[in-house]
């Protein structure tokens, strides 16, 4: 393993490795990257407004609305009315959406397990701290 690679090169290498795994699950579920983020942003039984979901996905309200519409059309989301405010368009995962989320989480857990089995326990805390730090630094 060459030690002369830059931090950015290493981050991109990690990103592409993770994206490859993400692409395989997206292809299996026949969803776009935005739809993937949408499903991943939700929790079973939790009702959220389309605006909240758009923000979580990092999308404009109009783009988020199109993604939500596609997720509804494909059976991953359904409209859900909140008792306290029926004017807001809210959504929640369907059973198919919950199943998709479970598949995504299984894939993520497999990736994490593969990483963690190769990081010595004595380095784990420092390793995790460094990843959090990098994540905070590169956030837009």
Which pLDDT belongs to residue 101? Answer: 95
| Residues near 25 by beta carbon (within 8 Å), at least 6 away in sequence | 36, 103, 104, 107
Alpha helices (H) along the chain: 7-29, 33-40, 50-57, 61-73, 95-116, 121-138
pLDDT digits (tens, 9 = 90+) for 15-50: 888 788 888 889 988 899 999 999 999 999 999 999
| Domain definitions of the chain by residue range | 7-138
Which pLDDT belongs to residue 86? Answer: 62
Give the model's confidence band at 82: pLDDT under 50 very low, under 70 low, under 90 confident, else very high: low
> Distance from CA of residue 78 to its chain's centroid?
19
pLDDT digits (tens, 9 = 90+) for 121-139: 899 899 889 989 988 888 7
**CATH T-level fold of 7-138:** Arc Repressor Mutant, subunit A (1.10.10)
């Amino acid at each position: 393993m060459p030690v002369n690679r830059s931090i950015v090169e290493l981050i991109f290498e990690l990103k592409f490795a993770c994206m490859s795994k993400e692409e395989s699950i997206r292809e299996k579920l026949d969803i776009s990257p935005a739809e993937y983020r949408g499903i991943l942003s939700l929790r079973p039984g939790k009702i959220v407004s389309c605006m909240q979901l758009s923000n979580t996905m990092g999308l404009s309200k109009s783009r988020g609305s199109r993604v939500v519409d596609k997720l509804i059309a494909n059976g991953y989301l359904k409209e859900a009315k909140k008792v306290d405010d029926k004017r807001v368009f809210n959504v929640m995962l369907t059973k198919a959406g919950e199943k998709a989320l479970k598949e995504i989480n299984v894939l993520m857990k497999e990736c994490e397990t593969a990483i963690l089995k190769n990081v010595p326990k004595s380095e784990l805390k420092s390793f995790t701290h460094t990843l959090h730090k990098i994540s905070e630094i590169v956030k837009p």
